Amino acid sequence: MDKTIATPAAAVADIPDGAVVMIGGFGGSGAPIELIHALIDRAPKNLTVINNNAGNGHVGIAAMIEQGLVAKMICSFPRSSDPVAFTEAYKAGRIELEVVPQGTLAERIRAAGAGIPAFYTATSYGTDLAEGKPVEEFDGKHYVRERWLRADVALIKAHHGDPMGNLTYRMAGRNFNPVMAMAADRTIAQVSRIVAPGDIDPEHIVSPGIFVDAVVEVPNPVQEEILIREGATYP
């Protein structure tokens, strides 16, 4: 078994127009910038993007929006230190927004990965974000029913990976990456280093390879925060 792919460009080559794409990361931490930029080079249109945020500055998801790739954002917090790309597209009516409470977003993704089509949560009960959703009372407390959230593709960032698709993460860069890996038909992971099967202690594997379809090595990945401080733009 060898899930390795030589380049980010080759890894994202099959993502079609209209795809639902999960992108890991929380702000820049754990964001697969090289995969995102490879996707911008390919320029599929009319994408639905699922991420905690909606881009920052003029790189990564913000650059996807500026290049007109994104028809809809599903996120918890479409603000950042420089949210101009999303803000302008939203105010011009070029992009649709679905705001989801952060824990509900994570759990909808996890539920999809675990084959659970819906679940109940206290989060958002009695608020505008619960409008139109079924409510049920369990043991004296009200809960809102939420649906799973699936994707065609997940682009994620990990630390070490092996050809079987086993992954480790780095610090808080883990965030949404392991749950998104479970919830997409095809999960593509960029890793700082590919090691041989067995080189990652099985006790330390966070995402077992069954959730991962492709692994591409990106040594010394850029950090979105550094790019933004440099005023970088993409392309």
Q: Select 42 or 79, whichever has its Cβ closest to another protein.
A: 79
Question: Cβ of 100: how many Cβ atoms within 10 Å?
Answer: 22
Stretch that binds another protein, among 1-9, 10-18, 58-66, 119-127 (CB under 8 A): 119-127
Segment interacting with another protein (CB under 8 A) among 11-19, 99-107, 195-203, 209-217: 99-107
Separation of first and last alpha carbons in the chain? 35
Size of the site for another protein (CB under 8 A): 51
Assess 103 for contact with another protein (CB under 8 A).
yes
Sheet holding 141-147, edge to edge: 118-121, 141-147, 135-138
Q: How far is the CB of 30 from another protein (least distance, A)?
A: 7
Residues in a beta bridge with 72: 48, 96
Stretch that binds another protein, among 3-11, 62-70, 208-216, 223-231 (CB under 8 A): 223-231
Distance, in Å, from the CA atom of 33 to the CA atom of 47, rounded to the nearest integer, reads 17
Cα within 13 Å of Cα(82), Cβ side: 18
- Asked whether position 148 contacts another protein by CB under 8 A, the answer is no
120 near another protein, rule: CB under 8 A: no
Alpha helices by DSSP H, the chain: 8-11, 33-42, 60-66, 84-91, 102-113, 177-183, 224-229
Show the site string, 26-55: x = touches another protein by CB under 8 A, - = not.
Answer: xxxxx---------------------x---
Q: Is 217 in the site for another protein (CB under 8 A)?
A: no
Of residues 69 and 73, the one with the C-beta less far from another protein: 73
Residue 77 beta carbon to another protein: minimum distance, rounded to whole angstroms: 4
- How many of the other CB atoms lie within 10 Å of CB of 229? 11
Residue 173 contacts another protein per CB under 8 A: yes
Q: Does 192 bind another protein (CB under 8 A)?
A: no
According to DSSP, the β-strands at 141-147 and 135-138 are: antiparallel
Of the residues 22, 48, 62, 80, which one makes contact with another protein according to CB under 8 A: 80
E-strand ranges in the chain read 4-5, 20-23, 47-50, 70-75, 96-99, 118-121, 135-138, 141-147, 151-157, 160-161, 184-191, 193-194, 214-217
Q: In terms of CB distance, is 44 or 161 closer to another protein?
A: 161
> What residues make contact with another protein under the rule CB under 8 A?
26-30, 52, 76-81, 86-87, 90, 97, 99-104, 106-107, 109-110, 121-129, 169-179, 206, 223-226
